[in-house]
């Protein structure tokens, strides 16, 4: 079976004010607090379809050290997932506090993660990105 690896940060990135601190994403996934992640690539829509069709599984992985300079370890495997393309209409309908909480972050940490200067800037920056869901929860129209 094909494996799609979705890597998650173990610590906040170097440009973030909380750089080096643990994200606590692994525990948040296990206890249902982190139910999605936001990704750049439209490829995730097709990958999620392959997972849901039984042709692949989604491996949630976490870097053991520095991202891209250390080995990832699989922390969870999913055989069902969801994907939503972030459109201008969708992002305007989403409460950013809820989006951040569902991503395992505070709103301020989420804005800093995406290098956004304001909520409006953040909403513009994530249009065209894909929300990959680990649970049945969705914000709007389904792509899976």
What would the pLDDT profile of 20-67 be if each residue is shown by its tens digit? 999 999 999 999 999 999 999 899 999 999 999 999 999 999 988 778
Domains and CATH numbers, the chain: 2-133 (2.30.130)
Report d(CA 66, CA 80) in Å as an integer: 28
Residues 126/94, Cβ–Cβ less than 8 Å: no
Residues 58/46, Cβ–Cβ less than 8 Å: no
Chain segment 104-128, per-residue pLDDT in tens? 999 999 999 999 999 999 999 999 9
Q: What is the pTM of this model?
A: 0.92
Q: What is the layout of strands, in order, in the sheet containing 130-133?
A: 36-39, 130-133, 82-85
Stretch 129-142: mean pLDDT: 89
- DSSP E strands in the chain: the ranges are 2-8, 36-39, 56-63, 72-78, 82-85, 130-133
């Amino acid at each position: 079976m094909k494996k799609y690896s979705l890597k998650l940060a173990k610590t906040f990135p170097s440009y973030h004010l909380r750089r080096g601190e643990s994200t606590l994403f692994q525990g948040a996934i296990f206890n249902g607090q982190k139910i999605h992640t936001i990704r750049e690539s439209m490829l995730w829509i097709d990958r999620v379809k392959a997972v849901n069709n039984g042709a692949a599984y989604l491996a949630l992985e976490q870097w053991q050290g520095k991202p891209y300079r250390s080995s990832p370890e699989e922390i969870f495997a999913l055989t069902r997932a969801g994907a939503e393309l972030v459109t201008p209409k969708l992002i305007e309908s989403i409460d950013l506090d809820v989006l951040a909480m569902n991503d395992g972050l505070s709103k301020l940490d989420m804005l800093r993660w995406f290098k956004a200067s304001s909520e409006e800037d953040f909403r513009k920056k994530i249009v065209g990105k894909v929300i990959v869901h680990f649970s049945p929860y969705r914000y709007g129209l389904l792509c899976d």
